[in-house]
């Protein structure tokens, strides 16, 4: 779901960079030194998972895992995804440096939202609630990321409306796949390391 260089308008780029800077600052403030290895592992997981992508006009389709990352890291998802996207832009020309802020926001912000919406269910200890919470977190995070990509394209140029709709439609299967992956991961974490989920969870 990387947006390519030279596609977005300057106001969208500036707005995305500003939101990214704010989210990253909050994430770094909330992240303790003990959590750095966990953040690094999930950064690497995202980096590898999203390398396999299918180009789709000004964007692309690939696994994101932002719902899972959001559930585990909370606000630290911002610096984690920022670093991963930076290295993808530098080494593989996925996205780009000028769109780094927007791409980070499009993937990290949904992770933060599902963190607050679905973490209580995902870590509840109730098997059914955990499955529902995990599936919704994975699927909804991808859906929100698709919506943000579509909005970014549309605000830059209304001619991208058709491409924006295509991005949303193409990610419907990804939503289901990521929902299933998140359920499996959360079920495993609840059994072996439940403390990984929302160690610093804060009620809204």
Measured distance CA(128)–CA(132) in Å, rounded: 6
Q: What is the reported pLDDT for 53?
A: 65
Residue 201 lies in a domain: no
Q: What band does 199 get if pLDDT is binned at 50, 70 and 90?
A: very low
Choose among 48, 57, 104: nearest CA to 77: 104
In a domain, 2, yes or no: no
Q: Say if CB 204 and CB 155 are below 8 A apart.
A: no
pLDDT confidence of residue 136: 96
Reported pTM: 0.86
Q: Which of 88-97, 132-141, 160-169, 171-180 has the highest mean pLDDT?
A: 132-141
**Domain at 79, CATH number:** 1.10.1760.20
| 106/3 Cα distance (integer angstroms) | 10
Q: Residue 14 has which token pair? A: 């500036």
Residue 36 in domain: yes
Within a domain: residue 3? no
CB of 86 within 8 A of CB of 50? no
pLDDT of residue 166: 78
**Is there a domain that residue 203 lies in?**
no
Nearest to 154 by CA among 142, 170, 169, 165: 165
Sequence-distant (≥ 6) Cβ neighbours of residue 40 within 8 angstroms: none
For residue 143, being part of any structural domain is answered with yes
User: What domain count does the chain have?
Assistant: 1
Full domain range(s) for residue 155: 10-196
Confidence of residue 158 (pLDDT cuts 50, 70, 90): confident
Q: Does some domain include residue 1?
A: no
- pLDDT at res. 96: 86
The model's confidence at residue 60, banded by pLDDT at 50, 70 and 90, is: low
Tens digit of each residue's pLDDT (9 = 90 or more) over 89-148: 999 888 889 999 999 999 999 999 999 999 999 988 888 999 999 999 999 999 999 899
Closest residue by Cα to residue 2 from 80, 91, 100? 100
Q: Is residue 204 part of a domain?
A: no
pLDDT digits (tens, 9 = 90+) for 34-50: 889 999 999 998 888 87
Nearest to 154 by CA among 8, 21, 6: 8
Rounded distance, CA 202 to CA 204, Å? 6
């Amino acid at each position: 779901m990387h947006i390519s260089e030279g596609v977005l308008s300057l106001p969208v780029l500036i707005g995305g960079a500003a939101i990214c800077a704010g989210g990253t600052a909050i994430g770094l403030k909330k992240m303790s030194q003990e959590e750095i290895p966990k953040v690094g592992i999930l950064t690497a997981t995202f980096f590898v998972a999203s390398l396999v992508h299918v180009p789709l006009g000004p964007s692309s389709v690939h696994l994101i895992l932002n719902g899972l990352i959001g559930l585990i890291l909370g606000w630290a998802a911002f610096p984690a995804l920022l670093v991963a996207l930076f290295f993808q832009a530098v080494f593989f020309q996925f996205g780009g440096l000028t769109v780094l802020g927007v791409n980070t926001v499009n993937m990290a912000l949904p992770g933060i939202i599902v963190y607050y919406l679905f973490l209580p269910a995902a870590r509840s200890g109730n098997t059914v609630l955990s499955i529902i919470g995990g599936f919704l977190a994975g699927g909804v995070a991808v859906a929100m990321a698709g919506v943000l990509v579509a909005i970014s394209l549309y605000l830059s140029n209304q001619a991208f409306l058709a491409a924006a709709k295509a991005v949303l439609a193409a990610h419907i299967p990804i939503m289901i796949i990521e929902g299933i992956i998140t359920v499996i991961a959360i079920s495993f974490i609840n059994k072996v390391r439940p403390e990984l989920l929302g160690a610093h969870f804060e009620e809204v």
